Amino acid sequence: MSDAARRVAELREEIALHNEAYFVHDEPTIPDADYDALVVELRTLEAEHPELGGEGSPTQGVGAAPSTTFASVRHRVAMMSLDNAFDDDELVAWSERLRRVLGLETLDDVAFSVEPKIDGLAMSITYERGRLTEAATRGDGIVGEDVTPNVRTIASVPPGLSGRGVPALVEVRGEIFLPLKEFDLLNERQERAGLRRFVNPRNAAAGSLRQKDPAVTASRALAFIAYQLGALDAPVRSPFASRSHAATLAALRDAGFATAAETSSVTGLGQVLERCAWIEARRHELAYDVDGAVVKLDDLDLRERAGATSHAPRWAVARKLPPEERTTMLRAIQVSIGRTGRATPFAVLEPVFVGGSTVSLATLHNEDQVVAKDVRPREEVIVRKAGDVIPEVVGPVRRPGRRPPRWRFPETCPACGAPLVRLEGEADTYCLNLDCPQQRVQRVAHFAGRSAMDIEGLGEQRVIQLIQAGLVSDVADLYELEAEPLVDLEGMGELSAANLIAAIDASRARPLSRLLVGLGIRHAGPTVARTVAGAMGSLEAVRAADVATLSAVEGVGEIIAESIAAFMRNPTNGAVLDRLVVLGVTTTEGGDRDTSVPQTLEGRSVVVTGTVPGYTREGAIAAIEARGGASPGSVSKRTFCVVVGESPGTAKLTRATELGVPVVPGERFDALLRTGEP
């Protein structure tokens, strides 16, 4: 494979893992700046190499799949992310693209809104006939988590709408956050109770909101600031139906919502730049953590003209603030071993307050990065943090005098003593011993994670206990556990043991896609797992498939197919899979297909855009899948046809025209289902 194809696959896997860590676990592992750089690199490569395809890529989606801890909610209007501008030049470039899209000679007279970008949790709160009926997280932008009982406990979220022109239905979009003052008080309470401090306000807010007991959420003093509307069903004269963003914010305030006091209406790009600089200069004076400024068109009609890409509106952009830097002492460089055996160096630092939290660890990525940055234990280094949990070591603080000796990458695994091997052509170093205890811990912990088998109560520390006690050596062993020996583990007890066994037992019913995620197959993240499970139908079919068969699945390239096939061929993996089957783990994706329905679309990819007469969007997709087809969210060369209903997306139609893909009017959808002919 080409270097570009290999790098694209690596980036997609890495970004998907970071999305899961951030959006699902509320535990980001790299700074925003590093994550943004990965996304920019991937988008650049995908633009330069369209033959690699973008289907299933993290650049085509938003966030990550919602946790199964809460019920799922499908957003009426997608909750999109924002494109980023990292400096004034990029903000100017964004404005120039916007000017061209709008067909204007200049933006000098165009009104904008500039708002602080609060570092919290995006939330969509639905009101029907003035009463709060539903609150959902962003999730993957299409489906989020139902956290209604918890959101009802937040004092700044009105239980009902007041004022005139209350809509029949309105989705109020905004940010749930923990004010900095409340964050400090919360950590003081944590310390007094002997509990772990929260790392930053964003993680504290996320953890406080994702509680099964709303009383816990109520005790955390969360707040909500509204900044946008989603779906809206309101009379033309309702304040909510106004055609300017400033008027919409005023309507929200009149209805009882708080909006960001620092929001400013400005005219022209010059004033936009000035206001962004104002927010940056006062970032530490605000009542909440911010990681940038959001610039939006004020005129909603102009917004409709500007439209959106697959993941972000063209009429808005996030002007990210530069990461903060501090100097501290690098005490040591150590190496951690992940579930794939990858050995990752990390910095042990003299604790330092940077980017809103106290930092004592920082990533160093790989051996080449340590060499390139030339950082050495027992010397001062520059630490950069962009509001995330784990910061980056930028480089040494250059001072006169003799420097400490260079750090050398260890030759043996710190967990098992086996040789560490750097594979040819790769920057990473690996422990190749599959029996390495640290790898076992990470594999089992990953298997139990939210996006995989979602086994509540089985975190990394519990997994370590189980492995050290000799109760678990691989993921299949989990399903042979009994409560009695668990009771003797520290901190367990009879009730906790029974709950863990129940959680493990419940995980047997997870669909095949989650099992595939849990197995930790390289390059096979949640999106790929769902695609493969949907196409193949059963674990037996996946195990029997060769590279060519897997590559034929839309969204699965040769690199991913080779990785899946190699995993399935491995005898050790095969033995574990055999045991999982015997132990009753589900090996199908949502049950067997109804063969009484003619399979007129077997193996074909049908994309739906707009509303098809007589069907909901979910109903149209279900009808396609019932006839053996698939319905991905984007158009590619492999697409059989595109069904166009009312209010279709222009991007899908344009792509279909470019590729010569047949277009089927919505009124002919039933005929397509019946005959299989576009």
pLDDT digits 0-9 by tens, 608-620:
988 888 887 767 8
Examine the pLDDT at 92 and tell me if it is beyond 70: yes
Give residue 589's pLDDT: 84
Give residue 441's pLDDT: 94
Residue 483 burial by Cβ neighbours in a 10 Å radius (0-12, 13-18, 19+): middle
Tokens 């310390």 sit at which residue? 191
Q: Tell which residue, 440, 330, 434, 423, has the closest CA to residue 379.
A: 330
Give residue 389's pLDDT: 47
Q: How far is CA 310 from CA 57, 81, 82, in A?
A: 11, 10, 11
Examine the pLDDT at 419 and tell me if it is beyond 90: yes
177-181 average pLDDT score: 92
Q: Which residue has the higher pLDDT, 32 or 571?
A: 571
At 65, the pLDDT band (50, 70, 90 cuts) reads low
At 62, the pLDDT band (50, 70, 90 cuts) reads low
At 591, the pLDDT band (50, 70, 90 cuts) reads very low
Give residue 372's pLDDT: 85
Round the average pLDDT of the chain to a whole number and report it: 87
Start-to-end C-alpha separation, the chain = 35
528-546 average pLDDT score: 91
Give residue 540's pLDDT: 94
DSSP symbols for 450-484 = TTTT--TT--HHHHHHHHHTTS-SSGGGGGG--HH
Angle between helices 460-468 and 437-447 (to 10 degrees): 130
Examine the pLDDT at 404 and tell me if it is beyond 60: yes
> 14-23, 317-326, 434-443, 494-503: lowest mean pLDDT where?
14-23
Examine the pLDDT at 232 and tell me if it is beyond 60: yes
622-628 average pLDDT score: 80
As a whole number of angstroms, the distance between CA 219 and CA 212 comes to 13
Tokens 């917004």 sit at which residue? 303
Q: Which residue has the higher pLDDT, 181 or 46?
A: 181
Give residue 26's pLDDT: 60
> 183-187, 261-265, 315-319, 409-413: lowest mean pLDDT where?
183-187
Quick check: helix, strand or coil at residue 201? helix
In order of their start, the domains of the chain are 3-60 (1.10.287.610), 84-320 (3.30.470.30), 324-433 (2.40.50.140), 437-507 (1.10.150.20), 512-582 (1.10.150.20), 605-675 (3.40.50.10190)
Tally of CB atoms within 10 A around 409: 16
**Catalytic member of 117, 296, 320, 385:** 117
Examine the pLDDT at 405 and tell me if it is beyond 70: yes
| 637 tagged catalytic | no
Examine the pLDDT at 185 and tell me if it is beyond 70: yes
Q: Which residue has the higher pLDDT, 260 or 397?
A: 260
Quick check: helix, strand or coil at residue 155? coil
C-alpha angle with apex 328: 323 to 334, nearest 5 degrees? Answer: 95
CB neighbour list of residue 23: distance below 8 Å, 6 or more residues apart? 63, 64, 138, 139
Are the C-beta atoms of residues 283 and 355 closer than 8 Å to each other? no
As a whole number of angstroms, the distance between CA 139 and CA 133 comes to 18
Percent of all residues in the chain with a pLDDT value above 70, rounded to a whole number: 93
> 344-358, 457-471, 575-589: lowest mean pLDDT where?
344-358
Examine the pLDDT at 329 and tell me if it is beyond 80: yes
Give residue 442's pLDDT: 92
Give residue 200's pLDDT: 74
Model pLDDT for residues 241-264, shown as the tens digit of each residue: 999 999 999 999 999 999 999 999
Give residue 592's pLDDT: 42
Q: Which residue has the higher pLDDT, 46 or 153?
A: 153
As a whole number of angstroms, the distance between CA 651 and CA 219 comes to 45
At 152, the pLDDT band (50, 70, 90 cuts) reads very high
Examine the pLDDT at 10 and tell me if it is beyond 80: yes
Are the C-beta atoms of residues 358 and 351 closer than 8 Å to each other? yes
Give residue 387's pLDDT: 47
Residue 533 burial by Cβ neighbours in a 10 Å radius (0-12, 13-18, 19+): buried
As a whole number of angstroms, the distance between CA 649 and CA 313 comes to 13
Examine the pLDDT at 552 and tell me if it is beyond 80: yes
Examine the pLDDT at 33 and tell me if it is beyond 70: no
Residue 451 burial by Cβ neighbours in a 10 Å radius (0-12, 13-18, 19+): buried
Q: How far is CA 525 from CA 7, 37, 191, 535, 564, in A?
A: 16, 20, 37, 15, 11
Are the C-beta atoms of residues 183 and 172 closer than 8 Å to each other? no
Examine the pLDDT at 361 and tell me if it is beyond 80: yes
Q: Which residue has the higher pLDDT, 349 or 216?
A: 349
Count Cα atoms within 13 angstroms, Cβ side, for 548. Answer: 0
Give residue 44's pLDDT: 84
As a whole number of angstroms, the distance between CA 347 and CA 364 comes to 7
Q: Which residue has the higher pLDDT, 190 or 575?
A: 575
As a whole number of angstroms, the distance between CA 308 and CA 102 comes to 12
pTM of the predicted structure, to 2 decimals: 0.49
Tokens 């499908």 sit at which residue? 74
169-193 average pLDDT score: 90
Model pLDDT for residues 294-328, shown as the tens digit of each residue: 999 999 999 999 999 877 899 999 998 876 777 88
